[in-house]
Amino acid sequence: MADKQTAPAPSAPAAAPPPPPDPLSKKGAQIAHRLRGLFADTESGVSNRVLSSSYGTDTTLLIAQYTLHLLSSLPPSKSLSVRLPLLHRLTTTTKPRTLTLPLSFSPPTTTALKSLTTTLSTTRLALRLLGLPPLWTSLTKTLTSPPRDIVLRYIALTQAVLNLAYQVLENLAFLNSLGVLDLEAWGRRKRGEKAKVTGGAQSREMAAWLWSSRAWMLGTVLDFVRLYREKALRRAASVEKEAEKQTAEESHATPSASSLSSSPDSTNEIEKQEIAQQDAKWTSALLSNIFYAPLTVHWSVETGAVPEPIVGALGALAGVLAFRGLWAGT
């Protein structure tokens, strides 16, 4: 008896192709991954590595301070109360505050955002009270191992001295504003005068704030000169290197064993990466000085020189640029 032939099993229906990935969901996943890395509760978290340093903490507070300064300086808008009621309430004028900060040119009335801005500014000033030892270390390091170029050497030494002067004057003015010091009494004792019943220490305290900012301003100007000098030296070195390469090609020199052991393509690629990193670092320093330069002029004048919204915008941009460098370094 013949075997019964088995009928072929019906073929399974073809699976439908997977839907194309949603670009928005992909972007959201990338943002979520970055946020997990930012706020990870481990040593590998970016926030821990950034905030673990005094510079990273100051940069974070800087961004918050000047962003709030910008928001509190914006003119009132009728549509603000409808679209952003919380921000409208925070920027609405409230009762006067008794706390006054140095270099505060705002009217006696204040807002919730301005009060928070004042608190952040006071926090940064308090943290910078400990900034003298690192500046002294930087000065001694510059003295022991200065740059080879004579122009860069004098710039580095002058900037180190200006940074020290800036920090000393700022610390004196801040402690005087808190009542810890009495700069006016020091001046009276130096002149041998009796204590006056009227008048306060505002004149000497304000002078300390202004001259501190002027030292910062001079350091920023010198930083522009430093960047110009570094660019000129790099350009001259590049021209000299190209001339040596052209001379070697024309003379048909026999390549050495060390030059044969390394691939020219890999060497050129490494050089290009180094040049790109140097250019990025130089551009970042230039932008930082461009953002800070108007602020140094503003704080160097008793009545201010820059509109308050622009002050907030420039400070926030400088902080974001600095935080970007910290993020890249982690």
Instruction: Report the chain (330 residues): mean pLDDT per 10 consecutive residues.
Output: 51 56 60 56 58 85 92 68 50 48 44 86 94 93 93 96 96 93 74 50 83 96 97 89 78 54 63 86 95 96 91 95 82
d(CA 291, CA 314): 5
- The answer to whether 139 and 162 are in contact (CB under 8 A) is no
pLDDT on residue 13: 55
pLDDT on residue 250: 72
Report CA-CA distances (Å) from 211 to 103, 106, 191, 266: 12, 21, 21, 52
Report CA-CA distances (Å) from 200 to 174, 179, 182, 211: 15, 11, 9, 19
pLDDT on residue 2: 47
Alpha helices in the chain (DSSP H): 23-38, 46-51, 54-73, 80-83, 85-90, 112-127, 132-144, 150-177, 183-191, 202-251, 257-261, 264-299, 308-329
pLDDT on residue 311: 94
Q: What are the beta bridge partners of residue 299?
A: none
pLDDT on residue 61: 93
d(CA 260, CA 64): 54
d(CA 91, CA 101): 19
Q: Length of the chain in residues, anyone?
A: 330
d(CA 85, CA 92): 10
Q: At what angle do helices 150-177 and 202-251 cross, to 10 degrees?
A: 160
Q: Which of left, alpha, beta for 272 (phi over 0: left; psi -120 to 50: alpha)?
A: alpha
* pTM more than 0.85: no
